[in-house]
Amino acid sequence: MISKRLTTICNFIIGDHVLDIGTDHGLIPIFLLQNNLVNRVTATELNDGPLEIAKKSFKKNHLDEQINLIKADGFKTLNPDEFSTIIIAGMGGTLISQIINNDLYSGRYVLHPTNNFRKLRETLKTLKFTIIHEQLVVENKINNLIIVAEKTIKIQHLNEYNLVVGPKLKFDLSQEVTNLYKTSKDYYLDLYNKSSNKDYKKKSNYFEKVLKWRNKKS
């Protein structure tokens, strides 16, 4: 049974040929093909354990001929522009940034960073990608942020405030996002009180600002 998080990721897929970087046990490729959402999937995995599990899962589901499984570090051995959508899920924002930082990709990214959201947004900005959607999926009391980004003609100019709170997430007035912002505000305020680092105070103030704006909208 695929999780709500992975289902949400799959909902943002476009095109017929998808690349799933760090496929782990291969749940996303299996779901995409079994539900006829794409025609082909290329999946990469660096670690031998998950790679072998994914290989067995693809064969068990009679999908091994439709999925090109490669042992690789990101897409260093691939041409990224062969793919309509590139998925990178379940890695830290810094690691995802390192994977995408030097590529010439011009399609759609569907990204699920587990932390360092600001760092990933900044990398996308540097690469001239526009964040077109951000969605928070709360599953088993864990906050999962899904970021969808594309190359667009008009460059998205993100200031520090939007890099921290999210240019699209801030417009989601759900209680789940409000709770995330409250937790983030308190987290950075606590760090500031312990260290007197003004950067922490600034981040806490950004979350307080967005919470006040949301309160006026609700």
Q: Average the pLDDT over 30-34 and give the result.
A: 94
Q: Tell me the pLDDT tens digit for each residue of 57-87.
A: 999 999 988 999 999 888 888 888 899 999 9
Domain ranges of the chain: 4-157, 175-217
Whether pTM exceeds 0.85: yes
Q: Rounded distance, CA 18 to CA 39, Å?
A: 9
In CATH, what is the architecture of 4-157?
Answer: 3-Layer(aba) Sandwich (3.40)
Query: What pLDDT is recorded for position 64?
Result: 87
Which tokens in the block code for residue 186? 């308190």
Q: How confident is the model at residue 115 (pLDDT cuts 50, 70, 90)?
A: very high
90 Rama class: left (phi>0) / alpha (psi -120 to 50) / beta: left
Across residues 42-50, what is the average pLDDT? Answer: 93
Give me the pLDDT at residue 77, please: 84
On the 0-12 / 13-18 / 19+ scale of CB atoms within 10 A, 120 is buried
Could you report the per-residue pLDDT of 134-170, keeping only the tens digit for each? 999 999 999 999 999 998 888 888 999 999 999 999 9
What DSSP element (H or E) covers 43?
strand 40-45
The pLDDT score that the predictor gives to residue 154 is: 84
